[in-house]
Amino acid sequence: MIRRAYAAAALVLAATACGGGGGGSAGTIEYWLWDAAQQPGYQKCADAFQRQNPGLRINISQYGWDDYWSKLTAGFIADTAPDVFTDHLSKFPQFVDLRVLRPLDDLAATRDLRDSDYQQGLAALWKGQDGKRYGAPKDWDTIAMFYSTAAVRAAGIDPAQLQNLTWNPRDGGTFEKTIARLTIDQNGVRGDEPGFDKTKVKTYGLAADGSGGSSWGQTQWSAFTGSAGWQATDKNPWGTHFNLDQPVLQETLNWYFGLARKGYMADFAAIGGNTPIGPDKQIQAGDAAMGLNGSWTIAAFTKLTDASGKKLDIGLAPTPIGPTGKRASMFNGLADSVTTFSKQPEDAAKWVKFLSGEECQNIIGQSGVVFPARPRGTELAIQYNKSERNLDVSPFTNQVKDGTTFLFPVTSNAADITALTRPNLDAVYIGSAPASSLTGLNDQLNALFQVVG
């Protein structure tokens, strides 16, 4: 794993040394993003930026998630990377290691970015171990539970009950009781009724979203491990010691993936393995009644329709309260980064400054697709969801307001960590290995830093 990372670094650094042929032509800034739902809002930002900077043009390219990262990696190697791209915390540390990002502190337009302009703790995630800033915050996200109001009503559950569910690794608490009730087998028997057949389930109480091995369980189990008091690393960002050997994590994951064994959540194969059908599609098809997911999926969930084309009524509830007496959510965010391949880094920095500035953030807030990094933009997004979607998004925003968030783990050796973590967590989900097997994985992760760091 370590040798592969160094080999990739050598390729990228060799490309960097070729003379910086990437990015747009003079006057045109190439900007990449992966979310099609966000593209219209950012095109409005580009139009506004171009009016204020007549000599510059923004060309936006949008690719699907998997294609996006493969094309970006290929661009780093072939010297065809864009000037600016939307960056993710799961990828960012490796890009810093490979030296394909320009420090924004070294560019005039972005030199004065202030952490205090953004939601607390968000900007600090985009600083390297050298203290330099490599990304300008654009948005943030937390986790909550989406549910089909029709499925909840049919189960005889008052939606108000979903606002204060509790869980524990022994019996699952009121959360497990609720998803058992929402689960229905092919004979119409619910998961909490005698005669329930866990091998022939029609509707699962809880939608599944994979093992979480490539994202620290962000939309899968992180809300449970977080509310049990567990943290992935000794410090964040840039931790160097991992905690996957701790009983609190292993007990939580045994319980969480055990829901699939009980028939309350689909098993690994049923959702498509490593390319899972998303919780939104599972709820839309009637395959699941409720599912954890991120605030970036609000637009997708609120557009769901049934087979006849009728819009589904979707509700929101906060993550369950855990053994610590509090609920929890991973706090993540995206940023825009300037590549070392840009032939016009100062102009690229002007665009990044605009993207993270109040005018663009307000435009994005008014689109209601995500929560912008600036507080005013977030307020506009809250208002949009209330007025246009009749949706109370406080299950997402209260996590920040109440201080129940924890940060997405940021470490070096990110690609190697994912390569090791994903198959091990897949095995726990599948049931071919117990969560106690993660102690061995923990030793492997810690060894990465003993050898490289």
- Is residue 429 a contact partner of residue 437, using CB atoms and an 8 Å limit? no
Region 307-315 average pLDDT: 94
Cβ proximity of 206 and 290 under 8 Å: yes
Q: Which residues contact 60 (CB under 8 A, 6 or more apart)?
A: 31, 32, 33, 39, 42, 43, 46
Instruction: Work out the number of other CB atoms within 10 angstroms of the CB of residue 52.
Output: 10
The pLDDT of residue 5 is: 40
Mind listing the pLDDT tens digit for each residue in 53-68? 999 999 999 999 989 9
Please list, in sequence order, all residues whose beta carbon lies within 8 angstroms of the beta carbon of residue 243, skipping any fewer than 6 positions away: 230, 231, 232, 233, 234, 249, 442
Q: Which two tokens stand for residue 353?
A: 């400054």
Is residue 384 scored above 60 in pLDDT? yes
> What domains can be seen in the chain, in order of their start residue?
2-140+336-389 (3.40.190.10), 143-330+411-452 (3.40.190.10)
Task: Dump pLDDT digits (tens) for 390-408.
Answer: 999 999 999 999 999 999 9
Interval 210-220 mean pLDDT: 95
How far CA 29 is from CA of 60, 61, 345, in Å, comes to 8, 11, 9
Residue 268 reports pLDDT greater than 70: yes
Average of per-residue pLDDT across 23-50 = 93
The percent of residues in the chain predicted with pLDDT above 70, rounded, is 94
Neighbours of 71 (CB within 10 A): 18
Extract long-range pairs of 107-111: CB within 8 Å, 24+ residues apart.
Answer: 107/338, 107/345, 107/346, 107/348, 107/349, 108/346, 108/349, 109/346, 109/349, 109/350, 109/352, 109/353, 110/136, 110/338, 110/349, 110/352, 110/353
Q: What is the pLDDT of residues 129-161, one digit of tens each?
A: 999 999 999 999 999 999 999 999 999 999 999
* Separation CA 206–CA 17 (nearest Å): 50
380 with 365: CB under 8 angstroms? yes
291 dihedral zone (left: phi>0; alpha: psi -120 to 50; beta): beta
Q: Supply the pLDDT for residue 3.
A: 31
Q: Which residues contact 281 (CB under 8 A, 6 or more apart)?
A: none
Average pLDDT over residues 265-284: 91
Find how far residue 277's CA is from the centre of its chain: 16
Note the pLDDT of residue 26: 75
The whole-number average pLDDT for the span 167-188 is: 98
Question: How confident is residue 13, by pLDDT bands cut at 50, 70 and 90?
Answer: very low
pLDDT of residue 451: 57
Confidence of residue 450 (pLDDT cuts 50, 70, 90): confident
User: What whole-number distance in Å separates Cα of residue 167 and Cα of residue 221?
Assistant: 12
Beta-bridge partners for 86? 336
**Greatest CA separation for the chain:** 71
pLDDT > 90 in the chain, percent: 88
pTM above 0.85, yes or no: yes
Mean pLDDT of the chain: 93
- pLDDT value of residue 8: 44
Each residue's pLDDT tens digit, 420-430: 999 999 999 99
Task: Assess whether pLDDT exceeds 90 at residue 19.
Answer: no
pLDDT tops 90 at residue 249: yes
Where does the pLDDT of residue 95 fall: very low under 50, low under 70, confident under 90, or very high at 90 and above? very high
Q: How far is CA 240 from CA 276, 439, 445, in A?
A: 30, 16, 9
What is the structure's pLDDT at 406? 95
Is the pLDDT reported for residue 9 higher than 90?
no
